[in-house]
Structure 1
Amino acid sequence: MTPVAAASLPLRTRIGQVNQRLKGWEAVRWVDGAPRVTDVLRAEVDRWGGLGALYGVLRADPWSAVRWENGVPPERSAEAYAAVQEHVTRYGDGLPVLFVEEAPHGLMALGGTTLPVNLALGAGMDAALTEELGALVATEARARGTHVALVSGLDVLRDPRWGRAEECFSEDPALAAALVEATVRGMQGTTSCDDPIDGGHVAVVAKHLAGQGAGIGGRNGSGAPIGRRELGELHLRPAFAAARAGVAGYMAAYNDVDGVPCSANEELLTGTIREAWGWRGLVMADGTAIDRLRDSSPDPASAAALALQAGVDLSLWDEAFTHVEKALDRGLVEEAVLNQAVDRVLGLKQRLGLLGDPVPATPAPERDVVALVERAARQSVVLVRDDGVLPLRAGATVAVVGPNADDLDAQLGDYTPPRPPSDPAASTVLSALTARLGAGTVRHAPGSRLRGPLDVRPDEQPDGPRALDAVREACAAADVAVVVLGGSSRRSYDDEFADNGAVEGPAPDTTNGEGVDLSSVALPQAQLDVARAARASGRPVVGVVVDGRPRVLSELLPLVDALLVVPFPGPAGGAAIADALLTGAASGRLPATFPAADGVVPVAHDERMETARGYVDNPVLRGLPLGTAHTPGVTAALRADVTSVAAAVLAEGGAAEVAVDVTNDGPAPATVSVPLYGRRHERGIRPRRRTLLGVRRVTVEPGATTPLTFRLGLDELGSWASGVPAAVPLTVGVWCTPDTDQPADAATVRVTDQEDSTPWER
């Protein structure tokens, strides 16, 4: 088939190409063991002469009510897609449909490989592994017939109260940008938004654009009352990285930025990403986001016109885009704008080989899927503190207590398909330690299954005192207690959901995920009571917090002798945590700041310097800053003192280089992430306390020193005020100690120009 231009298509077909109204699991049914299209699909194809895209044919989760008993079997996914495609092309105008699926941390379909959540990959700080995981998911999805994957990662975690914190890579835009870019490269296998996407990869629609992590009070979908500089420096940097990697599409978010809804923001969706960045892909609205424009437009046709004019090309479940013809008739939007949107939809179909000759698949390398997932899980484990109780000594009796000690679902995160009936690679902390140490040496008592602030305390339940007594007894009979606390994004098939899939009125057991925002991020007292009971036993206590958001750990720290923090690590998380407990080593770092108290949020490591003193009642804001990790025996030291680069050279691809020596005085090889921090001093701009300039992972042999060179180019040293890096004169203090803000011995990097070469006095 030769390339198709929008102008050659009937108006009805063009409107159909920008609509994605159906929920795909309602479009096909199994009849006598074979897939059959439904009347719902037939009516939509008849109405529009085809479909632009179809979302969620394979989606399986409580919101879709699809489970193993009624969903598309993994091995028959291609048949289901083929039945739909055959009907669309035969009874429509011959244009194939794009098949779109969710893939926030693995394909959200029956049998899809579940990865650690993004925040866990942020703890690993490993772009190479993230790219490899993206390629794994893409190969799996395309083999089933999926064309487009909706992938989280653009959101920057600026408030831990937000339930979707787990979908963010970090609070730091540089780390988020590096991992988003790696994800796009891995999943698409491209370097430009014009490159064809072969049969072994999928197109990525990156979400969400933009500023969703800056919502007021951490409330999902609330406005982001931020200025242009804050938007550019923090929230557009990951999106720019995705554009540079050739991302196929962006998803325009629900929220507004300074009062303008993202799905109606022409400055953002056209002026920034297309005109300023030169990006040429497709913009999809978030689910029902265009219908939500009714609060800023008088009727559905006006809402459709707002979104089309702004730069939205494809709806998701919206009714408003079915009113496009009315918008055209009333002159609310030009037909040329519709044609441009249709051409972008057709352009993505062309990139994927759906129009014209198919794009052959590049042979996928052999991958050990289990090994990759286990490696990612191990990297998500952060050893925050150890007062000498780790590693657990051989032959010790261990009490494993707490609500997350033996709860696999609590390790998986939101947007997770139902687990297969059996998964031999899955493990909890209890099952992994039992397998490694033997059932005779492990004691268990959950103490409490309660996680949320709405829970009642254990002693207010009929069996509450007995539950805590069981914890005391288990700990007293052991040599050491491992207390596993935290949250859960578990969804129930009995929960009530909004039209966009967010849970409405979650059970107290659900403390994370879309629509599950918390006013308090302190650990619930019910969980602290379990830690207190363990401490009262007189045994050493190791705390493990498995959660999808930063938590206030100030009350927990005095109750434990060692502490591990683990963002939802996926099904292999139990074994990964057991490895850290038994070796006394972990390679993750905190990907976000953990606040010192509830009332100080939002708080981040890269906030601007303040002229005020802070809170009288809570003088400490950052309990555990981004990058925190206990790496005994491993140190990193800068070799440079002062280095400089001209702004003109920086703008042309030049860089300053900073050398770091990583030394391992320990008895075993150590694999660590080495972060490089900087404080930018730019004339007329209040500096941030620090920013992450870069991070490298390295393995250092015992007794050895490994040199690293950080190349600081335009991305690292440039100004991101407009969302595009620009070279400006400045001075940057540089260091590599995570728990300090610009120490006295920090090195200095200067970006100079001919007009003003005056060094910044520190």
Structure 2
Amino acid sequence: MIRISYLYFVLFALLASGFVLQAQPYKNPNLSAAERTHDLLSRMTLEEKVGQMLCPMGWEMYEQNGDEVSCSDKFKNELQKKHTGMLWATYRADPWTRKTLDNGLNPEMAAKAGNALQRYCIEETRLGIPIFLAEESPHGHMAIGTTVFPTGIALASSWSEDLLTEVGAVMANEIRLQGAHIAYGPVLDLARDPRWSRVEETFGEDPVLSAKLGAAMVKGEGAGDLSNENSVISTLKHFVAYGVPESGQNGNASSVGMHELHQNFLPPFKAAIDAGALSVMTSYNSIDGIPCTANSYLYRDILQNDWNFSGYSVSDLYSIEGIHGSHYVAPTIQDAAVLALEAGVDVDLGGDAYTKLIAAAKESKIKEDLIDSAAYRVLRLKFEMGLFENPYVDPLKAKQEVRNEANITIARKAAQQAIVLLKNTNNLLPLDKNIGKVAVIGPNAHNRYNMLGDYTAPQEDSNVKTILDGISTKIGAKNVEYVKGCSIRDTTWQNIEEAVAAAKNADVIVVAVGGSSARDFKTSYKETGAAVASSTTVSDMECGEGFDRATLGLLGYQMDLLRAVKATGKPLIVVYIEGRPLNMNWADENADALLNAWYPGQEGGNAIADILFGDYNPAGRLPVTVPRNVGQVPIYYNKKNPNAHNYVELSATPLYPFGYGLSYTTFEYKNLKVEKLANDKFKVSFVVKNTGNYDGDEVAQLYLRDEYASMVQPMKQLKHFKRIFLKKQTEKELSFTITEDDLSIVNRNLKRVVETGSFKLMIGSASDNIRLESTLRVD
């Protein structure tokens, strides 16, 4: 008995000293991520490897019991049967998931849920592989208790890389504090059709603006340095050309040529990957007859071979099944799964398509090496993130630091920088805080969810500031009268007469109209989470995934409301809260002041009030073109030659051009200097002076036009921009370096080249407001 006890003691000592680590190298933190991944793969069964390629929905994988959270039986079964390596939207709460403020997870409980899931994976499975938790985060983590920022199109209106980096850092930190690891976003689709329902998620119509802002957000989210405890894996959406569907309908085929793909749609993704993004999501559309989720040219040729992408690709929700059931190019789900994997799609989001790969491999319908490669890409990132050593988080820290005061301050700053002043007749704005009575009117004046956009979790009322809240805080509630007037879409109710009465009693009128992406429990949803428009259920929702528009006019009684309050003769300020560029023709002609706030997030009401009363000088610039009429669509500033001609009944020019936005002050551009450097580089410098009476920001924009090229080129193309702050009557010299990349075009062989010739250099405050010009010559 003594000898046996001694042998047990020696064995225990060897185990404790790390002897077993040599037998299982993947558990040795001193080895490289690549070495550990190869070792782990060598120990895995085919079923376990396929499991790492699965990412089912996560909100049913936990159970709450008072202050504690545990794994659900569904999760245990999922893990035991499928060896699942990843979950999506575990912390998500919205009408689709049926998770509310009452039964959803606050940050502390989310951290506990993540810990419970990890503990089961590590302690109750054969190999102890931690699980990845992927979360939606296009403009804030889509979970209860997190910070809600302006939507993508609003963030893009800031034209500020610094702001996007700051916002990205907050989102990444809040995700990691709760125990998740992957952020779905930024959205880099170019939006050239405002009928499309997801314009709000994008950074607009331009490849350079989208590229720079997308890269800036990725840098804020950790720039691929997964050893940092605050870094996330940024998942870029949606690969590729998803934002230009036929008829403006979400998921429709995209008519995009190969040259256009390389010239405009791919560069934002390339820039974000170069900045450190480690995941790319496929898109629902097809290009030239090939579903993007089954397009090997995109994932094998471009991502892996041309760009040396070291991360992983993931399908959009059920898009692998869509190869079979939507595009009809695969007779069975297994055939669709084979096509997707052969194309280079590593992870199956939401569905069961990739479980069919097990039988496909055993039947030699697909090479197991492809499964090994996909599983490797996922597992290596788990090692790089340190999940095998540090899988757990501190719930108390999550409770204290998610949506703290510092993060809320950044949300207000983001909303301020995003708001675009479109019109200000006779300098009505800013208002004097002693103006007297203000009538605050309209369906978006005091609707909290309409401030937030799609992909937003349920909110406590106190967390979201409306326009009514913001104005009341500025001048006192006794000086404000609020009347809703009408709804966004519902025509069964209105109280326009009451709104007119309030307007007559006021010294100035603020009317908030526009649209809504606010989901509710009456709306029906597809299995993908996209909303379904219904004639029997009339919510405010007229935008957000699945809510495509045939027209761009204000819905419901909103135009009647505007005309009625205008007739009072009182000064009229119109604020658009919207997710797409809606028709603003009437407001442009009749309002005394007009602002576009997009969906400004939880601090939007405060930010709008800051601008209305002069506590912040607006400097937002449009990242998209605002058309005069839906008949102009698609309309975007960098269209290719030739120049547009007028329609029979309408000007071809937009109502508001790309890059446009007003300020309470004025700026002068002068002293342009162009210096030619080596290797076809040019240093461009100029001076911007604040010539007005207010301190404020200016957004300087540099455009180029290739005068003659071997391929048809845009009439002008943004290349550089900079948002700067100037005190009144002060000036600053700015400089940009124009590089070979700025001068290059994609030629007929789809290669980037710099051709000999002249380039027109244009610098100004908008695409149609050029202040300085020169010519560059490339010899």
For the structure 1 residues 260 and 483, does the alpha-carbon distance in structure 2 shift closer, same or farther, using more than 3 Å as the test? Answer: same
Q: Does 1:749 align with 2:762?
A: no
CA positional deviation for 1:75:
1.0
- Distance in 1 (alpha carbons) for counterparts of 2:262 and 2:644: 25
Assess if the C-alpha contact under 8 Å between 1:714 and 1:725 holds in 2: no
Paired with 2:737 and 2:193, the residues of 1 have a C-alpha distance of 31
Q: Distance in 2 between matches of 1:223 and 1:269?
A: 18
Within 2, Cα distance between the matches of 1:703 and 1:150?
43
Q: Deviations over 1:338-384 (max 9, x none)?
A: 111111011111221124688999xx999821211110010111111
Q: State which of 322, 332, 335 in structure 2 corresponds to 1:292.
A: 322
Provide TM-score, normalisation by structure 2. Answer: 0.89
Residue 428 of structure 1: which of 439, 455, 466 is its match?
466
Equivalent in 197, 200, 203 of residue 169 of structure 1: 203
CA distance in 2, matches of 1:86, 1:469: 61
Could you tell me whether the CA contact under 8 Å between 1:240 and 1:723 is conserved in 2?
no
Name the amino acid aligned to 1:635.
F
Structure 1 gap segments, 5+ residues each:
758-762
- SS of 1:225's partner is coil
Deviation at 1:638, TM superposition (A): 5.0
Report what 1:136 is aligned to: 170
Q: Which residue pairs with 1:145 in the alignment? A: 179
Corresponding residue of 2:157:
123
Higher Rg: 2
Q: Report whether the alignment pairs 1:317 with 2:357.
A: no
Q: CA deviation at 1:717?
A: 2.6
Aligned to 2:50: 15
SS at match of 1:188: coil
Report SS of the residue matched to 2:116.
Answer: helix
Counterpart-to-counterpart distance in 2, 1:427 and 1:401: 16
Cα distance in 1 between the residues matched to 2:482 and 2:66: 47
Q: Which residue, 515, 521, 526 being the options, matches 1:498?
A: 526
2:344 and 2:318 map into 1 onto residues whose CA distance is 16
Report if the CA contact (8 A) 1:163-1:517 is conserved.
yes
Q: Does 1:410 align with 2:450?
A: yes
Q: Which residue of 2 aligns with 1:398?
A: 438
Query: In 2, Cα distance between the equivalents of 1:739 and 1:142?
Result: 39
In 1: Cα distance, 2:167 partner to 2:766 partner: 30
Report 1:595-674 matches (<5 A): 595-610=627-642, 613-637=645-669, 639-640=671-672, 644=676, 649-650=679-680, 655-674=681-700
Q: Within the alignment, does 1:729 sit opposite 2:763 as a pair? A: no
Identify the residue that residue 267 of structure 1 maps to in structure 2.
297
In structure 1, how many angstroms separate the alpha carbons of the residues matched to 2:115 and 2:575? Answer: 46
Aligned match of 2:14: none
| Matched residue count | 727
Match of 1:477 among 505, 512, 517: 505
Normalization by structure 1: what TM-score? 0.91
Q: Aligned residue for 1:379?
A: 417
Match of 1:544 among 575, 580, 591: 575
Match of 1:590 in 2: 622
- Judging changes above 3 Å, is the alpha-carbon distance between structure 1 residues 611 and 313 closer, same or farther for their aligned structure 2 residues? same
1:271-282 alignment runs, 5 A limit: 271-282=301-312
Query: Could you report, residue by residue, the CA deviation over 1:164-223 in whole angstroms, capped at 9, with x for unpaired residues?
Result: 111001211111111110111111244xxxx43422221111111111111112211111
SS of the aligned residue for 2:583 comes to coil
Distance 2:510 2:738 in 1: 42
Shift of residue 742, structure 1, vs aligned partner: 8.5
Whether the aligned pair in 1 keeps the contact of 2:315 and 2:349 (CA below 8 Å) is yes
Q: Which letter does structure 2 place at the counterpart of 1:712?
A: I
User: Is the partner of 1:512 in helix, strand or coil?
Assistant: coil
Call closer, same or farther: CA 1:703–1:266 in 2, change over 3 Å.
Answer: same
Q: Distance in 2 between matches of 1:367 and 1:434?
A: 21
SS of 2:77's equivalent in the other structure is helix
Tell me the equivalent position of 1:78.
111
Whole-Å Cα distance in 2 between the matches of residues 740 and 177 of structure 1?
18
Partner of 1:186: 220
Distance 1:309 1:562, change over 3 A: same
Structure 2 residue matching 1:247: 3-state secondary structure: coil
Listed one character per residue, the Cα deviations across residues 677-700 of structure 1 (whole Å, up to 9, x for unaligned) are 222334222221222111111111
Q: Which residue, out of 690, 695, 705, partners 1:679?
A: 705
> How far 1:643 sits from its partner (Å)?
5.1
SS, match of residue 594 in structure 1 = coil
Which residue in 2 is equivalent to 1:368?
Answer: 406
- 1:677-734 Cα offsets, whole Å, 9 max, x none, are 2223342222212221111111112112211112222443322568885433343322
Shift of 1:516: 0.8
Aligned counterpart, 2:5: none
Residues in 1 aligned to 2:131 and 2:443: alpha-carbon distance in whole angstroms: 45
Identity over the aligned pairs, expressed in percent? 31
- Please say which of residues 724-733 and 738-747 is displaced more in the overlay: 738-747
Deviation track 1:570-604 (CA, whole Å, cap 9, x = no partner) reads: 01111111111111831211111000112111111
Q: Is the 8 A contact 1:531 1:559 kept in 2?
A: no
Indicate the RMSD between aligned Cα atoms, in angstroms.
Answer: 2.4
CA distance in 2, matches of 1:71, 1:316: 22
What's the CA shift for 1:130?
0.8
Q: Is the 8 A contact 2:420 2:619 kept in 1?
A: yes
1:412-561 pair list within 5 angstroms: 412-420=452-460, 422-423=462-463, 426-449=464-487, 451-452=488-489, 455-456=490-491, 461=492, 464=494, 467-505=495-533, 507-524=538-555, 526-561=557-592
CA distance in structure 2 between the aligned counterparts of 1:163 and 1:433, rounded to whole angstroms:
30
